[in-house]
Chain A
Amino acid sequence: MPNITYVQPDGARRTLVAAAGSTVMQTAIANDVAGIVAECGGSAMCATCHVYVDPEYIDRLPPVSEVENEMLASAASERRETSRLSCQLSVGGDVDELVVHVPSCQV
């Protein structure tokens, strides 16, 4: 089972075991991880599940789609090279481990 580690702005880390095929957003919501709002429920429509992927892992992920790219422009915290919408990041397969940093605000 894949592992996802969520790092809060204050440095607190929490590692969760995720179901294969589930997204970083779904795993966060199901385990009450602070700082992931996910207002639209995973449709890439609201940019409130924004995360910064740890640089070590960024190359293992599929590329940003056009929709995700445009929606990231509306994220409440600054957009960086490592910015992703966590509803678009599935774990399992090649991605058996992932570290993401939760931004300071989502709305």
Chain B
Amino acid sequence: MTSQQVVIVGSGQGGFQVAASLRDMGFDGHVTIVGEESGLPYQRPPLSKAFLTGQMQHEHLLLRPASFFESRKISLIAPERVQAIARDKREVVLQSGRCFHYDHLVLATGARARPVKVPGAEQQRVVLLRGLADAIQVRAWLQRAQRIVIIGAGFIGLEIAAIAAAMGIETDVLDFAERGLKRSVSAFCADFLATAHATAGVRFHFSTAIAHISGSDGIATGVVSADGRHFAADMVLVGIGVEPNTELAQEAGLEVSNGIVVDCHLQTADPAISAIGDCALYPSAFFPRPMRIESVQNAVDQARCVASRIAGKPASYHKVPWFWSDQGAYKLQIAGVASEADQAVLRGDMSTGKFSVFRFHNGRLTAVESINRPGDHLAARKLIEAGTLLSHEQAADDNFKLNQRAA
């Protein structure tokens, strides 16, 4: 065991957690993290939340201080890029030319923000939000902006819309779908949140395709829709989802589709290489087909699963995915993954601002979306994990005790 070398590609929350968990589990080999961003690993979720409002400072984004890495003998090589994986030699080749041998390689390469492919997207003041450098720029521009256009009514777009509107910035959100959060939550939940944001001053423009981003002297001045409307802005934020970073795996001959393909142990076809987090496409009893999940919980739990295998205790990955999002005054929590067509059963009174939506597919509970109802969310994680049968009537009945059912 002592001579084992683990190399982790990616210094996000997943990559960090593999290293931390290996040490927690007593692994005494070499642990190296290679990260593309400079500095210590940090949390991404606050970048679209408390960090933008200034409530959270940079130092509080760090997952752990430098002393943590020193005391646990975790070497962090950053900023540095992995150029290639030489699988025959079990080596990673870095851009600087350095090579590292691995006994186990963990790909935690994450995802990148998807750029919008319209004319004018290359101008200044058009920004994608993914990393700390992006967030610092967005935060600075928000301080000066009077009008913002947000392309995409997904989690990131709506979180930022809520912040911008609260800062008194005129906020327009454009999405080609007929409602927000279409891929993520039920219409109940999406409409409730859109109404709440609209009340706070956000203007929504659904079923609106983008033609181009207008500009002057290379600086964006607004967005023009396909039907010819112009939405003036002094900054344009693009939040239309992410693309997994799979190129390294693909060039190494590993199977890739919408993510790096892994089995139920999160292992690729090469037993020395695993993939976790946003970049990994994995099978689960909770999904109808292999999926790629973008969440902190997924990255962290998968990291623990792989670390445990490397440390000598293999187990298949079996966790219910869960998510959270701060939407203005509302906390949205989701347990499980629903398909768009899944039925939606409402529990609680939407007018109180506290309710949950239970999603069903063929009578099976697939996901629960909760607004300011953490108790429902916690019960839902257990219900979905255990595959507990729940009727639509029970889900809708506020007097029916979910906790007891879940216990």
Contacts and interface: CB of A to CB of B under 8 A. Distances in A.
Interface size of A as a range: 20 to 34
A67 interface: yes
A42 B62 CA distance: 12
Interface in B39-96: 43, 45-46, 49-50, 56, 59-65, 67-68, 71
B372 A31 contact: no
A32 B64 contact: yes
Contact of A71 (B67, B296, B297, B374): B374
Given A32-B64, A32-B67, A45 B375 contact: no
B324 interface: yes
Given A26-B60, A40-B324, A41-B46, A32 B378 contact: no
B278 to A, nearest CB: 16
A43 B45 contact: yes
Interface in B304-349: 304, 324, 326, 331, 333
B378 A73 contact: yes
A61 interface: no
A32 B45 contact: no
B296 A32 contact: no
A32 B326 contact: no
A26 B65 CA distance: 11
A73 B380 CA distance: 13
Contacts of A42: 46, 50, 56, 60
Contact of B62 (A30, A66, A67, A71): A30
Secondary structure call for the A interface: loop
Interface in B227-270: none
Nearest to B20: A37
B193 interface: no
A95 interface: no
Contacts of B189: none
Given A40-B45, A41-B45, A67 B331 contact: yes
Nearest to B44: A41
Given A26-B60, A31-B65, A32-B65, A39 B374 contact: no
B326 A70 contact: no
B279 interface: no
Interface in A2-33: 22, 26, 29-32
A67 B372 contact: yes
A14 to B, nearest CB: 13
Contacts of B374: 45, 67, 70-71
B296 A39 contact: yes
Given A67-B374, A70-B378, A71-B374, A41 B43 contact: yes
B378 A40 contact: no
Interface string B361-393: 000000000001111001000000000000000
Given A39-B296, A67-B374, A45 B60 contact: no
Contacts of B56: 42
Contacts of B378: 70-71, 73-74
A78 to B, nearest CB: 15
30 contacts: A22-B60, A29-B60, A29-B63, A29-B65, A30-B59, A30-B65, A31-B65, A32-B64, A32-B67, A32-B68, A39-B296, A39-B297, A40-B45, A40-B324, A42-B50, A43-B45, A43-B326, A43-B331, A46-B297, A67-B331, A67-B374, A70-B373, A70-B374, A70-B375, A70-B378, A71-B374, A71-B378, A73-B375, A73-B378, A74-B378
Interface of B: 43, 45-46, 49-50, 56, 59-65, 67-68, 71, 296-297, 300, 304, 324, 326, 331, 333, 372-375, 378
Given A43-B49, A67-B331, A67-B372, 12 more contacts: A29-B64, A30-B59, A32-B64, A32-B67, A39-B296, A40-B45, A41-B45, A41-B46, A43-B331, A66-B372, A70-B378, A73-B378
Q: Which 9 A-B pairs have the closest CB atoms?
A: A70-B374, A70-B375, A41-B43, A45-B324, A74-B378, A32-B68, A26-B60, A71-B374, A32-B67
